[in-house]
Amino acid sequence: MALSERHYDTILAPWITEKGTLLSEVNQVIFQVPLTATKPEIKEAVEALFKVKVKAVNTIRVQGKTKRFKGVLGKRNDFKKAIITLADGETIDVTTGL
């Protein structure tokens, strides 16, 4: 798959947390992706950007928390996480960046 700008827009950032790093043991990586990204798009982008084979993509829409500031209700932005399961033997080093 040829690399294109679209791919860069699909993967926003690695999701580096305790849980995210733990998942690397089962060959999974978490990325933050746009709310509009679909599983096939994410798969395509990861495969193009990191040159790896993706086995499966799971996505979660995380609802932003409602916050009060001086009694006024506000809401944090929603976002989408994508949990990528890599094919056996593939790895992504999330710390090096693109």
Partner 1 sequence: MQIVEKSAEGLSRVYGVTFAASLIATRTDAKIAELAPQLNIKGFRKGKVPVVHVKRMYGKSIMGDVVNELVQEGVEGAMTSNGVRAASQPDVTNLGKLAEVMDGKADLTFDVELDIMPDFTPADIQALSVTRPVAEATDAEIDEALAEIAKQSPSYEAKKGKAADGDAVVCNFVGKINGVEFDGGKADGSTVVLGSNTYIPGFEEQLVGVKAGDEKVLNVTFPAEYGVPSLAGQAATFDVTVVEVKKPVETKIDDELAKNLGLSDLATLKEAIKKNIEDQFAALSRQKAKRSLLDALDATHSFDLPPKMLAAEFDAIWAQVTQDKAAGNEDPEDAGKSEDELKADYMKIAERRVRLGLVLAELGRVNGVEVKDEEVARAIQAEAARFPGQERQVYEFFQKNPNAVASLRAPLYEEKVVDFVLQMAKVEDVKVSRAELESEDEVAPAADAKPAKKAPAKAKAKKEAAPAEEAPVEAAAEEKPAPKKKAPAKKKAD
Binding interface with partner 1 (CB under 8 A): 15-18, 20-22, 93, 95
Query: In this complex, which beta carbon is closest to partner 1, that of residue 9 or of residue 27?
Result: 27
Q: Which H or E run contains 39?
A: helix 39-50
Query: In this complex, which beta carbon is closest to partner 1, that of residue 5 or of residue 18?
Result: 18
Strand partners, 14: 31
In the bound complex, what is the minimum distance in angstroms from residue 52's beta carbon to partner 1?
17
Query: In this complex, which beta carbon is closest to partner 1, that of residue 16 or of residue 87?
Result: 16
In the bound complex, what is the minimum distance in angstroms from residue 23's beta carbon to partner 1?
12
Tokens, residue 91? 């790895």
Task: Report the distance separating Cα 31 and Cα 43, nearest Å.
Answer: 11
In the bound complex, what is the minimum distance in angstroms from residue 25's beta carbon to partner 1?
10
Which of 98, 76, 88, 90 minimizes the C-alpha distance to 7? 98
